Structure 1
Amino acid sequence: MADSSVDPTNIRVASPTGRWVVLTTVLGSSMAMLDSTVINVALPRIGEDLGTGLAALQWTVNAYMLTLAGLILLGGALGDRYGRRRVFVIGVVWFAAASLLCGIAPNADVLIAARALQGVGGALLTPGSLALIQASFHPDDRARAVGLWSGLGGVGAAVGPFVGGWLVDGPGWRWVFLLNLPLAAICVPVALRHVPESRDPYEHGRFDVLGAALAALALALVTYALIEAPGSGASTAVIGAAVGGLVLGAAFVQVERRRADPMLPPSVFASRQFTAVNVVTLCVYAALGGFFFLSAIQLQVVAGYSALGAGAALLPTTVLMLLFSASSGELGRRIGPRIPLTAGPLIAAAGMLLMMRVGPGSSSVSGYLADVFPAVAVLGVGLVTLVAPLTATVLASVETERAGLASGINNAAARAAGLIAVAALPLLAGMGPEAYRDAGEFAATFRRAMPMCAGLLVLGALIAWATVRTPPAAGKEACRPECTMHCGVTSPPLEPTPDHV
């Protein structure tokens, strides 16, 4: 177990314990992040190996995001109540066990169920990774510790597509999941031995299990209706699922309004700025979720890239964010968030429209430089411009003591937006159940889908321009720039509440 002689709230980064804490949290968060960044590259091979249609591939992505989005706020609350290290370790073990089930899944149904279980583990470990750093380190060292966590996590995001593509092309797509087992085998004993336990002594009241269940079920039913509609049409099951999802969504709102300790306190939305920025988040991350899901397939099925080549082709976006997000955060603090949150989505939208040029001739070096690289580079510039100010504005829009809640809500909104986009875009673009098996059909629907993604970004830019202003807390230490680098492509970073630690 962790050394009891160590003060669990005053660890220094340069100490052996400090280095162990950083290593543990990076390993844990990397498990969830790697699966988020490499799964899209593996989808064509999964579909071919398991003989599935497009709907099963959508569920392979969405089952994970569904449980993660629905339970991530509850996961953070469990850590505060019962011990952040304990819940983090449970999440890592759970995630590894679900990854093993993914790796040995004999068919698509088992794989989808295992991915849903992975999301539960992710909801336990994802909030805990950064919360452990915030709760463990001396106040003077927290910024440096978060910077190390974010920077090392960014490196993991950068190498993820290479590792994932190599595994898919080499030993097979199952190793994308099995890779989590050795990571967990290192992470768990290190956490138990070297990471001190911490909890929030002020945490009390009941957990909002009903709210979490209603949110997850509402998302699940709406997602089912969107995914099944292309194959089943306006069937009784599809219409029933859509109506049921909307009813449960309305019930969730009513439950949260009446509970004394809701998972999603309606009072936090009294801030017009907070509400507006979360609407922008929905637009941005819906566009990104749809883009990365479809682009990885387009590059392989239509352009002829290998899985490794497709992962590497999209890498400039991640590299640009890794290199320049901190500078973007500083710029956003100086000039205010309105311009970055308006210009960033517009630039990213241009990148998505450029992606429509990708076709059968784009797999050569010259084709990549002419068609793919300009698109992903422009997209990266847009994301660099907007992601850091977006996260900073979310946290600055509420009181400091609610920063953890605000970031958790924003993270859940981003996950839910990606979930709905992956379900809805193929339907809106007219993709049939077997579209990904036919290069011509997929290319045609891809060209219809990209303007939709770009349109979401333009909508986000218009909302930002009309509603976002420099919040009173801007310029304070509401969000350090190094916090905004981690996982920015797939979701905003989680920022734990700084009080009571």
Structure 2
Amino acid sequence: MGLNEHSNGHSKSNRWMKLSIYMGAFISHFTAGIVNVALPGLSGTFQTDLATVQWITTAYLLVISLCLPLMGHWGDRLGHRTVHNLGYLLFTVASVLVAFAPHVTALIVCRVLQAVGAAMFQSTNMALLTVHLPKEQRGRALGVLSTAVALGAMTGPIAGGLITEWLTWRWLFVIHVPAAVLATFLAYRYIPGRQTTNKARSFDGVGALCFAAAIGFLIFGVSRGGQAGGWNSAQTWMPFIISGISLLVLLRWESRHPEPFLPVHLMRKPMLGVGLAVSLISFALANAVLVAAPFYLMTFARINHAALGYVMTAYPILLAVTGPLAGSLSDRCGPKRLIVSGLGAMGAGSLLMALFLDSLSLPGIIVVLALFGTGMGLIASPNNSLMMNLTPAAYSGAMGSIIALTRNVGMVLGAAVALGLLSGQTEEGLRHEADAFYTIFVLNLILSLAALAVFVLVALKSRRLAASGIDS
């Protein structure tokens, strides 16, 4: 076989490998959002209260968040391909089982199995792209991956609404199965078997337990915030207190453990720490706006649900265009300026909404959504590329899982804060919807500016240290 033929064959295999990974990223987030709009109907179908059926969504998000670092750890030990592809198998089988669940308890159990599978391939997809692609292609690949995640999260609720209107509830859980089967086939066929060999590390059970408590109680507290009692109740704040204590214990334990569950020693590189913070904040900012925008459009623009769907597409369209482009630019020009531009775009969108809350026209609202879509596209892939390039190969799975964790937690927190403010159950006791919207966008502006300032300061400091010959 000639050199060109070999190169073309390798390039073709890489394309199929990337497609299989992108499909998994899309499907797992599509599945997370497709159920939300159907929860009231499922409550009637299973003749149970809404608080119970909400666990169909909450359990899925919670189990993914708990399992991500664990699966990243096993990916580094057993091989990213092994964990990733087994995750596809488990996810696909569990999806079929969910659709045939006889009662709500069985459905939630099957959703937990589905979430474990999703965590297996979410935690290893970035590592696979980083290991098997040349450095000059990683940024674009991670950009497409980020776009697939966002498009899955955006299209899930739309599909859920159509299925709820026209089909039975079982279609919510099987509509993606053909795509999952295809992704599984492509993954086993085209993801290379070669794997960097990493030294086996002992399992840090105490660290894993503390992490599970910190994340589990955090998400449990967030899920209770919009329920009876709201954010002011002791039942809501107690999980947050337990989560904070668990986090402090985790950080202290991990800093002294020779082989920690979470590679906290990597945070000695300031750019890694600030990159994770930017990831969490940017997804929280975007999700807060995506949750608040439909309420805003119906309250101030007074548009119907059909028009609402068209207006909301401004976000995913700009994200789909900007994400891969930003990934390519980060490969050639570096990621930092793109991240700064992305945070600036999100801040500009928040400023527009805060200044012209009562008078912004429909085209103006579309511009704001486009700014957030552009901002997320400029941030996600360059930021992921920055962090993965700073991570030693032996920890690529663990870091990929932590990045995915910040994304999931950011989305949950952004949605919870926006819904909490709009429900009028916040500590400030907001009485008017306008006040709630104003608070959401001002908070977004403050957070985006704070993240921008910290990122720029840390980047400048890292550049000075690099110029001095010190590893930053």
Q: TM-score, normalised by structure 1?
A: 0.71
Counterpart for residue 469 of structure 2: none
The question of 1:67 aligning with 2:63 is answered yes
Partner letter of residue 444 of structure 2? Answer: C
Task: Find the residue that maps to 2:200 and give its secondary structure.
Answer: coil
Give the Cα separation in 1 of the matches to 2:82 and 2:49: 39
Counterpart for residue 370 of structure 1: 363
Counterpart for residue 3 of structure 2: none
Give the Cα separation in 1 of the matches to 2:399 and 2:75: 17
The question of 1:123 aligning with 2:116 is answered no
Instruction: State the Cα deviation string for residues 351-384 of structure 1 (Å, max 9, x = none).
Output: 246568899x99xxxx7x4354222112223233
Counterpart for residue 386 of structure 1: 379
Alignment of 1:14-413 (within 5 A): 14=11, 20-36=16-32, 38-39=33-34, 43-47=36-40, 49-50=42-43, 61-100=57-96, 103=99, 115-132=111-128, 146=141, 150=145, 153=148, 157=152, 160=155, 163=159, 166-171=162-167, 175-192=171-188, 195-229=191-225, 231-232=228-229, 237-295=235-293, 305-306=304-305, 310-329=308-327, 339-352=337-350, 369-370=362-363, 372-397=365-390, 405-413=398-406
Q: Is contact 1:350-1:378 (8 Å) kept?
A: yes
The structure with the largest helix share of the pair is 2
Unaligned runs of 5+ in 1: 1-8, 434-439, 476-501
Pair 213,305 (structure 1): closer, same or farther in 2 beyond 3 Å: farther
Shift of 1:343: 4.1
Counterpart for residue 6 of structure 1: none
Partner letter of residue 259 of structure 1? Answer: H
Farther-moved stretch of structure 1 (370-379 vs 234-243): 234-243
Counterpart for residue 478 of structure 1: none
Shift of 1:204: 0.4
Farther-moved stretch of structure 1 (87-96 vs 166-175): 166-175
Shift of 1:122: 1.4
Partner letter of residue 256 of structure 2? Answer: R
Pair 25,399 (structure 1): closer, same or farther in 2 beyond 3 Å: closer
Shift of 1:78: 1.8
Task: Find the residue that maps to 2:210 and give its secondary structure.
Answer: helix
Shift of 1:327: 4.1
Instruction: State the Cα deviation string for residues 258-291 of structure 1 (Å, max 9, x = none).
Output: 3222132222111222222322333222222323
Partner letter of residue 410 of structure 1? Answer: I
Q: Is contact 1:55-1:227 (8 Å) kept?
A: no
Give the Cα separation in 1 of the matches to 2:125 and 2:273: 26
Q: Is contact 1:22-1:148 (8 Å) kept?
A: no
Counterpart for residue 415 of structure 2: 422
Partner letter of residue 272 of structure 1? Answer: P
Q: Is contact 1:72-1:123 (8 Å) kept?
A: yes
Task: Find the residue that maps to 1:468 and give its secondary structure.
Answer: helix
Q: Is contact 1:104-1:174 (8 Å) kept?
A: yes
Counterpart for residue 479 of structure 1: none
Pair 73,474 (structure 1): closer, same or farther in 2 beyond 3 Å: farther
Counterpart for residue 454 of structure 1: 445
Give the Cα separation in 2 of the matches to 1:184 and 1:135: 23
Pair 451,145 (structure 1): closer, same or farther in 2 beyond 3 Å: closer
Q: Is contact 1:221-1:245 (8 Å) kept?
A: yes
Instruction: State the Cα deviation string for residues 217-255 of structure 1 (Å, max 9, x = none).
Output: 222213323432452355554344233222222222233
State the percentage of identical aligned residues: 21
Q: Is contact 2:80-2:397 (8 Å) kept?
A: no
Q: Is contact 2:94-2:114 (8 Å) kept?
A: yes
Partner letter of residue 459 of structure 1? Answer: A
> Could you tell me which of 427, 446, 454 is aligned with 1:463?
454
Farther-moved stretch of structure 1 (398-407 vs 123-132): 398-407
Q: Is contact 2:27-2:152 (8 Å) kept?
A: no
Q: Is contact 2:24-2:88 (8 Å) kept?
A: yes
Give the Cα separation in 2 of the matches to 1:323 and 1:10: 28
Instruction: State the Cα deviation string for residues 27-62 of structure 1 (Å, max 9, x = none).
Output: 3333213235x44xx634433552699977976654
Pair 96,371 (structure 1): closer, same or farther in 2 beyond 3 Å: farther
Pair 62,49 (structure 1): closer, same or farther in 2 beyond 3 Å: closer
Q: Is contact 2:60-2:115 (8 Å) kept?
A: yes
Instruction: State the Cα deviation string for residues 158-184 of structure 1 (Å, max 9, x = none).
Output: 994665554444326653432232223
Q: Is contact 2:288-2:415 (8 Å) kept?
A: yes
Give the Cα separation in 1 of the matches to 2:406 and 2:144: 23
Farther-moved stretch of structure 1 (143-152 vs 321-330): 143-152
Give the Cα separation in 2 of the matches to 1:452 and 1:155: 22
Partner letter of residue 458 of structure 1? Answer: L
Q: Is contact 1:351-1:375 (8 Å) kept?
A: yes
Shift of 1:462: 2.6
Q: TM-score, normalised by structure 2?
A: 0.75
Q: Is contact 2:37-2:160 (8 Å) kept?
A: no
Q: Is contact 1:26-1:153 (8 Å) kept?
A: yes
Q: Is contact 1:337-1:390 (8 Å) kept?
A: yes
